[in-house]
Chains A and B, each alone.
Chain A
Amino acid sequence: MLVIELKDLDKSYGAVKALKGLSLKVPKGSIFGLLGPNGAGKTTTLRILCTLLAPDTGEVSVAGFNALTDPRSVRQSLGYVAQEVAIDKILTGRELLELQGDLYHLRFEEKEGRIEELISKLEMEEWIDRRCGTYSGGMRRRLDLASGLLHQPQLLVLDEPTVGLDIESRSTIWQLLRELNDKGTTVLLSSHYLEEVEALSNQLAIIDAGKVIAQGSPEDLKRQLGGDRVTLKVREFSDKNESEAVRDLLKNLDGVRQVVINNAQGFSLNLVVDDENVLPHLREKLDRANFKVFALSHSRPSLDDVYLQATGRTLLDAELDVASKRDVKLESKKAMR
């Protein structure tokens, strides 16, 4: 059973196309990871399904409700923890939770009970009666998580829940998300941290340039990819010609499926091979052609490889690429209501 179904979403901000026909299905009861570099369209997707933004075209169904015609039922069904935590610095954490409880129309006893429960679960006792303006990033995140959970939604949506957090806050949040999921809450989280998605989610979609490019369980995606990964450098800083020569040398070797030159990483070579038995042959071939081996690493495929396979670049390179082009100020202006 699906708790979220997005069909062919298009969304533009002026000339910038944020989503290009994005479709997504989130099964009930999953911890679903939305993985992609900054600027891939993750936040836009989450804002659309939380009814903060209307798509230009496409269909949005959340918890069985049409988000475009029945947004209020959608809002009632989900808790949203935004990326940039907007809190009122003048209020105390407890006052903010009280406000949140009233906005979700909890009755007095229920509201007070839930607030106490969450304060203790998220270990906020010590500082919850201090003003929000004095909180650290981790405290704010916990408070925001508490306000998203106050009305016990069946779906919790988190945008980059642990970005910039200390280890302790991060593991508290991970622990809570797992507990919630065990009790039946569907969790949808976006992240550009591979480890986070790998550690938490049992289903994921990889988003790039406003589209879903792969979807499934992490294991399935890696298995579909097949083969082992080898990263090779014949010199610390090779040039293009040298790397091309090595590629031509290795690409027809038995057991080597693919050789890609990674320009962004000093023209290192990324190989997909059948298994570790290929490695001795590979060394031997390089030896015979008088190439030294500066670095050689071997690993099982990771989610980054899934991303690399689908887009031709690593997640890190995509991040760096976007970081230089992105106008965050303009984006927040566009997102203002």
Chain B
Amino acid sequence: MASSSSLLSPVVGYKGSLSDQIQETLALTRRLFIQLRRRPSTLIAGILQPLIWLILFGALFTNAPDIFLPGGMEYGRFLGAGVIVFTAFSGALNAGLPVMFDREFGFLNRLLVAPLCSRNSIVFASIIYITALSLLQSLAIMATAFVLGYGWPGLTGLLIVLVTLLLLVFAVTALSLGLAFALPGHIELIAVIFVANLPLLFASTALAPISYMPAWLGWLAAINPLTFAIEPIRAAYAGPLDLHLVLLHAPYGDVSGYGCLSVLIGLTIGLFLMIRPLLNRKLA
């Protein structure tokens, strides 16, 4: 009997060997990737949409005066970090949809009647799938941004970008999976995704710095999780990054790169703890 030290494992009784759990998790993940291969439209749309953002929105302020952004930064370069984060965020927010459809169509029952070592495998498979998908989309955006002349973060910078995106994707995936079990059907889930998506983008530093915003919006942006992911990535794009440096001048005080990452780590842990009782009830 192996025991797992993962955050989720105590949710339901863990029995059986680790290799059994890996077998079932990989099988469930494989299913999601087969679906993606045969129905690639979500992936294609997920890459096209942020590209359109980047190209159209990036061009919108091309002729703004040099003092428009701090340090005379080009707007496209400023926007790049925002679009990368927004892409990963939207992808992760949709993580709950396949699970919701499995609930509605009864496929989940097929999984629940099987002697899974741990029903967390169902959750793990979703996380692996969405993480891979989000990273793939983000890399496509980064490559396009590079081609458009908006720069490339460099090797250490890339590492920071990946870590930041992973944290954000984990947190939002947890939230979305929680919603997929809490809400009655996919209509409601899509409604929540629809309502959450754009306002969170606008109330962040993705499109403009806090200094441009009225005080109330600045406050919203300064507590918006997206902002804490955008700033380290933007800094990584700006040049060699020192995480000790202040990246965010928030109304409540300055936040360093480490501060930003800590907020994301805290958020991820918090959300997983929050959805635990729910998964417990629905998957026990």
Contacts and interface: CB of A to CB of B under 8 A. Distances in A.
B is bound to A: yes
Interface in B76-106: 103-106
Contact of A86 (B24, B31, B107): B107
Interface in A88-128: 88, 90-91, 95, 98-100, 102-105
Contact of A103 (B38, B108, B114, B283): B114
Interface residues of B, number: 34
Contacts of A242: none
B103 A102 contact: no
Contacts of B110: 82, 86, 100, 147
A328 interface: no
A62 B109 CA distance: 19
A333 interface: yes
B107 A88 contact: yes
Interface string B205-247: 0000000000000000000000000000000000000000000
A105 B108 contact: no
A281 interface: no
B23 A80 contact: no
A230 B22 CA distance: 64
Nearest to B110: A86
A86 B107 CA distance: 5
Given A72-B115, A75-B115, A105 B24 contact: yes
Question: Quick one: which of B38, B103, B109 has the most chain A CB within 10 A?
Answer: B109
B35 A88 contact: yes
B249 interface: no
B66 interface: no
Interface stretch (B12-20, B51-59, B162-170): B12-20
Contacts of A51: 112-113
B148 interface: no
Interface in B17-68: 20, 23-24, 26-28, 30-31, 34-35, 38-39
Contacts of B109: 52, 82, 86, 337
Interface string B158-196: 000000000000000000000001001000000000000
A41 B40 CA distance: 42
Contacts of A82: 106, 109-110, 113
B186 to A, nearest CB: 11
A336 B114 contact: no
B273 interface: no
Nearest to B36: A90
Interface of B: 13, 15-16, 20, 23-24, 26-28, 30-31, 34-35, 38-39, 103-117, 181, 184, 282-283
Q: Which 4 A-B pairs have the closest CB atoms?
A: A102-B27, A86-B106, A103-B114, A75-B115
Given A103-B111, A103-B114, 14 more contacts: A50-B113, A72-B15, A75-B113, A86-B110, A88-B35, A90-B35, A90-B38, A91-B31, A100-B110, A103-B28, A105-B24, A337-B109, A337-B112, A337-B282
15 contacts: A51-B113, A52-B112, A72-B13, A76-B115, A86-B105, A86-B107, A90-B38, A100-B110, A100-B114, A104-B115, A131-B38, A332-B106, A336-B103, A337-B103, A337-B181
